Amino acid sequence: MRIAADEALAGVLLAPLRPEVGYLGGRPVSLWPYGAPVDPERPEDAPWEAAGRLLAALHQVPVHRLPGPVPPMRGPAKLARALRRLARATVPGRGAGAGAAGPARAAGPVGVPGATGAAGVAGSAGSRPGPALVPSPAEGRPAGDLVRAAARTLPAWVRGEAPAPRGGALCHGDLHLGQLVRGPGPDGGWRLIDVDDLGIGTPAWDLARPAAWYAAGLLDTATWVRFLDSYRAAGGPAAGPAGSDPWPELDLAARALTVQTAALALAKSAENHRRLDDVERLMVDSCARIATLPPDLEPQAPS
């Protein structure tokens, strides 16, 4: 709360009405101004450029000037939690929800909750899908096994099983377009909300969800490039300079987010006794491709 209210983040995070946490019936509560959210009925108006600029600004905030202590970003912890939930909801070797992995039709873009439409991946210079997500999926294996196999290719720190590399930048930790609102005041500019996962970590993690969607075919090339270019133009440190291939920096985080998303999808499908929808199946299919990779044992220093 104190970090969100700090003037160093004015124009980036929606500031609380007051930085102190109150209590109601023994539960912590906080007060925030109202911000107008992204309209789920108009996905074409999704503020991808604004999201890129806000992330770039967040990643460049001098961490040492913030009120501390600044916690670690919770990305690896959330992946570990998703894998535990999958383990509770399924039995290894039996799969969950989707049965064996197989082809699924595209159902993106999914930049705005509830948005649907045809989408595909068409690589271009500096914006092609990472090679880690390209190999053909393994057919016929239970979906839960594929997700667990994909998780095993990630370094232990990415799975939350070892300390993360030291250093990094201030990260949001849970970036999606539902976390943007138009702030109050005369400018009415876009602001990031939901600071639950805010902390120091690898800034590529904040780009992982759109990167994973693009690689899976849920985000079209033009939208991905708009987001990536706006992040780079604003000085964002996590994707390399303009014109370069971003995937050496984004690949690991994109794979981690893919595994997290697929694990949660399978767990929820098992808990609710339903089959996976098309978008969820695409994420499991991506895990099938990730599972063909050798284990990544070396920790990567944050950008």
In the chain, where the domains are located: 40-290
Residue 141: its pLDDT value, please?
A: 76
pLDDT > 70? residue 148? yes
Residue 218: its pLDDT value, please?
A: 92
pLDDT > 60? residue 176? yes
Structure tokens at 274: 């339903």
pLDDT > 70? residue 270? yes
On the CB side of 208, CA atoms within 13 Å amount to 25
Q: Are 227 and 51 in contact (CB under 8 A)?
A: yes
pLDDT > 60? residue 276? yes
Q: Are 109 and 43 in contact (CB under 8 A)?
A: yes
Q: Residue 243 carries which DSSP code?
A: T
Tokens 């595909």, located at residue: 120
User: Rounded to the nearest 10 degrees, how much is the dihedral formed by the CA atoms of 16, 20, 26, 28?
Assistant: 40
* Selected residue with higher pLDDT from 187 and 44: 44
Q: Average the pLDDT over 255-259 and give the result.
A: 97
C-alpha distance from residue 61 to each of 66, 70, 135, 140, 277 (Å): 9, 12, 37, 47, 39
pLDDT > 70? residue 197? yes
* Selected residue with higher pLDDT from 258 and 45: 258
pLDDT > 50? residue 137? no
Q: Average the pLDDT over 24-47 and give the result.
A: 90
Give per-residue pLDDT as tens, 221-244.
999 999 999 999 999 999 999 999
From 173, 238, 190, 215, select the one nearest 47 (Cα to Cα): 190
Q: Are 79 and 159 in contact (CB under 8 A)?
A: yes
Give per-residue pLDDT as tens, 84-122.
999 999 765 444 544 444 433 333 333 333 332 222 223
The percent of residues above 90 in pLDDT, for the chain, comes to: 68
Q: pTM (2 decimals)? A: 0.82
The percent of residues above 70 in pLDDT, for the chain, comes to: 81
Q: Which CATH architecture has domain 40-290?
A: Alpha-Beta Complex (3.90)
pLDDT > 70? residue 125? no
